[in-house]
Amino acid sequence: MTTFLIPFAISAAAAILAAVLCVWLRPLLVRYALARPNARSSHKVPTPQGGGIAVLAGAFLALALGLWLSPLEGEAGRTLLVVALAATALAVVGAWDDIRPLPAGLRLVLQAACVGFVLFRAAPELRLFPELMPLALERALALLAGVWFVNLVNFMDGLDWITLAGIVPLTGALALAGGYGIVDPLTGWLAAAICGGLVGFAPFNRPVARLFLGDVGSLPIGLVTAYLLYRLAGTGAFAAALILPLYHVADSTITLLRRLLRGERVWEAHRSHFYQQATANGFSVMAVVGQVFLLNLVLAGLAAVALAVPGLPTQFACVALAVMLTGLLLRRFATGPRHG
């Protein structure tokens, strides 16, 4: 199999495996992991959660198959194992939290341990700003950013298909870049596996969802995605790494800052994200996720331009346009369709 086709084969295999596992697991999840609606939920009827088990299992099984058929050179295989182990550990934390909620402090410590394991074992040589700051400070900031990204993906997983609308274009773009040799094979293969797993899960999470990801899925998906973006930024493509997740980062970060300013307990469930405001302001779920998906496709295109044209003027222009388009969508969600 040619190098070009491997990411696509991994993605297809992950999609098939994840879909099969969703069918197999759903009766068990109905019995043991039912999410019951409350005042802050977006769903109206009890719905099983834990579909992330199928997404991750499908992704990592497909990745293992790809490595068996065409082993990667050097340390790439060991690096993938480190990421898979950390993601699995974080999935266990998420599964426990889905069934019996953990204290916020303990949850944060366990998340930081998993992020740190990836940071120090899977990316020990990676530097983003070697001329600007010492290694210890950069590692501390990377750890903080990684923990935040893990949590923001979890925070954003509050609407049917919303995580797919954010992560599938991102990972799909990186998988495509891997196929064309624009990014390294490790990044392309890992992105392809996560993208395929989410695609296989998509029919079960289609509004109105029959299955949720749960923390068992959103937390490790956040970890793997953060690692992919960190690797991308480490190649010098910092602008592309900033652009790709911009909607999710902006929605969650602005919401967090607003809640902090209001003195709210930010670790508690709420309905103040922009995508949640959108449904309260008259947008249907499909309209919300459709617009988020389209924006993320545009962001992927801008990231591709930033990768293809490395000059600073182009980088700044792509980032500025991405920020503007993201801001317009956030404003549209906050004000409603009549004022968008």
Task: For residue 131, name the pLDDT band (cuts at 50, 70, 90).
Answer: confident
pLDDT of 289 above 80: yes
Say if CB 274 and CB 255 are below 8 A apart. Answer: yes
- pLDDT, position 41: 61
What CA–CA distance (Å, rounded) separates 217 from 149?
14
Specify the residue for token string 């197999």.
Answer: 24
pLDDT at 326: 98
Neighbouring C-alpha atoms within 13 Å toward the C-beta of 181: 3
Under the banding of pLDDT at 50, 70 and 90, the label for residue 322 is very high
Q: What is the pTM of this model?
A: 0.94
> Rounded to 10 degrees, what is the CA torsion of 224, 228, 234, 237?
-150
Over residues 14-54, the pLDDT tens digits come to: 999 999 999 999 999 998 888 777 655 666 788 999 999 99
